[in-house]
Amino acid sequence: MGARPHGNTAGALAAGYKQLYAFKGTPDGASPYSGLVAVNGTLYGTTLNGSTNNCSSSCGSNNCYLGCGTIFSVDTRGREHVIYDFKGNFNSGADGSWPFDGLTVLNGNQLWGTTSSAGQYQHGTAFITDTSGNERVVYSFMGGNDSEGPEAGLIANKEHLYGASLYGGGSGCGGAGCGVVYWLTTTGKEFVLYKFQGGTDGVRPYSGPIFMHDALYGSALFGGGAGCGTQGCGIIYKLNLHGKETVLHRFADGSDGAYPNGLIAVGGTLYGTTEGGGTKNSGIFFSITPSGKFTTLYNFLDIPDGNLPGAVLIYSKGEFYGTTVGGGTAGVGTVFSMTKTGSEKVIYSFLGGSDGSAPQSPVYLFKGNLYGTTLSGGNTGCTNNAGCGTIYRVKP
């Protein structure tokens, strides 16, 4: 287990990279946290900020980067088009604002997603749109005992969509609730499946659950005990479809890492990353069985292989692919591959200029290439002129 040999110079790592698009903030969006999905040969995604609708009382030198967010399309030649601008409650709308996560494709051309704020009760929404941008709110989260502030996307299983919200589920964890897992019908009926309790249970499920063997598996970013400054270092949980939860692993901020991201199932085993912990406190790559056997497979080293692996992994033909928000040659993030046994290779190391920086989103494998977004970089503008983010393509 360890890093596979790879070039470390900018020239070697840039050979397979292409910037497809650089966001401008307004009117086209900014800060794409989400990954991409394909429908009929075109890629679709969301931006957290930007758009024609400002979601702050001032714009000024920030180039309106605090807009309510967008849904966009982009083709493989880099032609980008905003198909929907979120309005948010700030603009007397109820359609939601600030979509953190990406889109889920249903029935060929339906795009489903969530917004973390606004909506009828100002606690976020679940929405549907077609590829032409005809958007409709399916459910407005109510907070309290309901969900609140979903930053995770949705997954489909039979007639239901499943997701998680950072807050809600009661008055614990500081008053806003510790977060929930919920299901949603395509007609807009919502049910809270599980309410996290904090303490030795989880807090703040940042990523949504996945299905394996007729059960849901997922992670909570915090909770699990008193470590990591008393907030807990996070958990891995199993949840049956009746809402019975089992904590499979509580992270301890040591060799097992801290602050887990979402999971991926391959061959009956779960794999994932943590944002912290490990040998260099730069995160780890791990596996965990459905019975809770946990194995650390790789420790990220910051330089040159990256730190803070913040996105869910994808898997294809024996390789996992992911991103790190920091580290790499210039300290602003990487795209990497990883084997099941923990052999890691940097595919691309971002330089922080026109190519982008801080790739928060997962990559998407499409027509033999990896496509993704960066949170910043590309051009000047947006926060501290750090750039509004990019869409890129790299060869795996």
DSSP 104-164: EEETTTEEEEEESBBSTTSB-EEEEE-TT---EEEEE---TTSEE---S--EEETTEEEEE
Instruction: Give the predicted TM-score (pTM) of the model.
Output: 0.94
State the pLDDT at residue 321.
Answer: 98
Q: Which residues contact 269 (CB under 8 A, 6 or more apart)?
A: 287, 288, 289
Total length of the chain? 396
Q: What are the structural domains of the chain?
A: 12-394 (2.120.10.30)
Single-letter code of the amino acid located at 160: H
State the pLDDT at residue 9.
Answer: 38
Tokens 């904090």 sit on residue: 198
d(CA 250, CA 230): 13
d(CA 72, CA 127): 15
d(CA 340, CA 157): 26
Two tokens at 56? 């702050």
State the pLDDT at residue 204.
Answer: 97
DSSP 8-state symbol, 12: H
Q: Is 264 helix (H, G, I), strand (E, B) or coil?
A: strand
DSSP 8-state symbol, 54: B
Two tokens at 67? 């807009």
d(CA 396, CA 392): 13
Which contacts qualify for 186-191: CB closer than 8 Å, 24 or more apart? 186/106, 186/128, 186/138, 186/159, 186/161, 187/138, 188/138, 188/139, 190/126, 190/139, 190/141, 190/146, 190/147
pLDDT in tens, the chain (396 residues): 555 544 333 444 456 899 999 999 888 999 999 999 999 999 999 999 988 887 765 544 444 457 899 999 999 999 999 999 999 887 777 899 999 999 999 988 899 999 999 999 999 999 999 999 999 999 999 999 999 999 999 999 888 999 999 999 999 999 999 999 999 999 999 999 999 999 999 999 999 999 999 999 999 999 999 899 999 999 999 999 999 999 999 999 999 999 999 999 999 999 999 999 999 999 999 999 999 999 999 999 999 999 999 999 999 999 999 999 999 999 999 999 999 999 999 999 999 999 999 999 999 999 999 999 999 999 877 877 889 999 999 999
Judge whether 41 and 380 are in contact, CB under 8 Å: no
d(CA 148, CA 189): 16
Nearest CA to 358 among 330, 337, 382, 385?
330
Q: Is 32 helix (H, G, I), strand (E, B) or coil?
A: coil
65 CA to centre of own chain? 19
Instruction: Give the CA distances from residue 248 to residues 60, 218, 239, 245, in Å, rounded to whole numbers and listed in that order.
Output: 48, 10, 10, 9
Cis geometry, peptide bond prior to residue 304 (ω within 30 degrees of 0):
yes
Cis geometry, peptide bond prior to residue 27 (ω within 30 degrees of 0):
yes
d(CA 234, CA 251): 6
Nearest CA to 164 among 214, 221, 122?
221
